[in-house]
Structures are given as structure tokens and as C-alpha cells.
Amino acid sequence: MIIDWKKIAWEIYEKLKEQISKMDRKPSLGVILVWNNPSSEKYVEQKKKWAEFVGMNFALYRFETNISEKELLEEVEKLNNDTNTSGFIVQLPLPDSIDDKKIINAINPTKDVDWFHPINQGKILIWDNSWLAPCTPSGIMEIFSHYDINLSGKIVTVIWKSNIVWKPITAMLINAWATVISCNSKTPDISKFTSISDIIISATGQAWIIKQEMVKDWVILIDVWFNYIDWKIYWDMDFENLKDKTSMITPVPGWVGAMTVAVLLKNTLKAAK
Ligand code: GUN
């Protein structure tokens, strides 16, 4: 079966739209965009499109790449103190001249709708899920709950190493009683782990790193990232050769981005409340 995450995201958008239509004061999402590379532009476009669809206010704060770290910290502080902004994000990556850790650290955790601040990331480890949630990892968890997949006792391999997806989803899976295997670029032979896994989540951006002979029958495959080689898009999963072997696989083309945005908007509504 091919996972229909556009449909799952659509259901979240519809629910948000209904809730927001009943609010006197609409939630407001702010986005700071410094480095206008094509991918960041595309992501921000999607965030604007869906924020407006659900009835939120959306404000884009665009800066030139020569903005200094100090000036950017001042802009973050302005949004921390702006009572009209329910939550905001700083779109990554930032130019090399700016330390993204310092910028993320400066965001007020209660307005950190991306859930990138160390205080928020730390909460996942102790399973405080009473507040906001990390966007892409929660989007993936929504897929499991949508299809009634009980993670308890499942062997799940997560591939790559990042603060945005890999670390938070590893913690969330552990909290859901999965047996989690974390692979990265130094893992000698990932097929040793993928071949025993019930679920594989991969976010490397390396073309077809997961092939048919590396997985068992009826596996669930979640492909989170892609890359371009000679202008052709490649995903982590060799979809065409894998799809008939799996019980569920994410579609190609089509990606987890829709779920990321849906959770971001859910967080913004919570922050507004
Ligand atoms: N760059 C790539 N993905 C993301 C994301 O989810 N949030 C932000 N702020 N930047 C990103």
C-alpha cells in the first residue's frame, strides 16, 4: 500500500481551519528567511500557502545574506517580544557567517513552533508531550497512528544523523516502546540492520540507499529525503523495485513535507492558545 500522507495532512488542515474559524484572534506564524536558496524558498512558500489556507496570519521577515549575527539576534528578540506573533521559525540553513546554534538558542521556547530549541528538544527525552511537538518526526508519528500501527515491540531502523529528524524521532520511537536501531554514515553495513527491521525511516538524501535485497517482506518504508543527480531527483528508497515487497511505503514523488507543515501549523495554533 502506498501511504497517502497528502490526505492525512489535508485532514489536519481541515481540522485546523475549522478550529481557527471559531477564534476571535487568529494565530500568527512568523518566518525569518535569510538565505534565499531555492529549497528554502519552496518550503517557505508551502508554509505561507497552508497557513493562509487554515486562516492564520503569516508574516515573512526576509533579510539579505550579509545580515550580521548580532542583527539577526535582534530580529529574533523582536519576534520574541511581539505580542502579535504566536510562534515563529528561522528557516535553515543560515549563511556560514551566522552560528545557527546561537540563533536557535535565542528563540523563546514557547514561540519555538519548529521545536528546535534545546529546552524543547530535551523535553522529548523525558516525554513531556504536553506542549508543542517536533514537526517532521511528529508528522511521521501521525502516519503510524493514522494507520493504527502499534510501534510497541517493532524493530525500527532510523538512518542519518540530524537534530531535525533523526534524534527526535529516535526518542519518540523509544517512548512508544519500539526497539530502535540508529544508523549513520559510519555504520559499516546497514543491510545487517535493515534486513531485520519492521520499519525503516531514512533521511540521507543518498540515491537509492535502500534496495530491494536489503529489506524483509512486508516492511514499512518511510522515505524522508531526496537529492538531485544530473537534474534528476532521487529518493533514499528504490521505490519501483521496493513497492511490491512492502506492506506500506511513502510515495515518490510526494514527500513528508506536507506533514511537516501540518504539524508546524498545529504547533502555531497551540502557541496562540
Ligand atoms: N530547513 C529544512 N527543514 C526545515 C524545517 O523544518 N524548519 C526550518 N526552520 N528550517 C528547515
Q: Which of 79, 114, 149 is the last residue of a domain?
A: 114
How many domains does the chain divide into?
A: 2
**C-alpha cell read off for 3:** 501511504
| Closest listed residue to residue 245, CA positions, set 214, 202, 207 | 214
Domain with residue 146: its CATH number is 3.40.50.720
* Domain identity same for 41 and 97: yes
pLDDT at 127 over 80: no
* Domain identity same for 70 and 157: no
Per the structure, the complete domain to which residue 57 belongs is given by 9-114
The reported pLDDT for the residue numbered 255 is 65
* Domain identity same for 72 and 166: no
Q: Compute the distance between CA of residue 130 and CA of residue 132 in angstroms, rounded to an integer.
A: 7
To test the ligand 1 pocket, which listed residue (89, 107, 140) has its Cβ within 8 A of the most ligand atoms?
89
Q: Compute the distance between CA of residue 182 and CA of residue 159 in angstroms, rounded to an integer.
A: 6
pLDDT in tens, 244-257: 999 999 987 766 78
Bridge partner residues of 200 (DSSP) = 157, 221
pLDDT in tens, 174-191: 999 999 999 988 999 999
* Domain identity same for 140 and 246: yes
- Is 176 a domain residue? yes
* Domain identity same for 85 and 188: no
Lowest-pLDDT range of 14-18, 81-85, 223-227, 247-251: 223-227
- Is 126 a domain residue? no
Q: Is the CB of residue 112 below 6 angstroms from any atom belonging to ligand 1?
A: no
- Is 87 a domain residue? yes
- Is 130 a domain residue? no
To test the ligand 1 pocket, which listed residue (48, 79, 160, 164) has its Cβ within 8 A of the most ligand atoms?
164
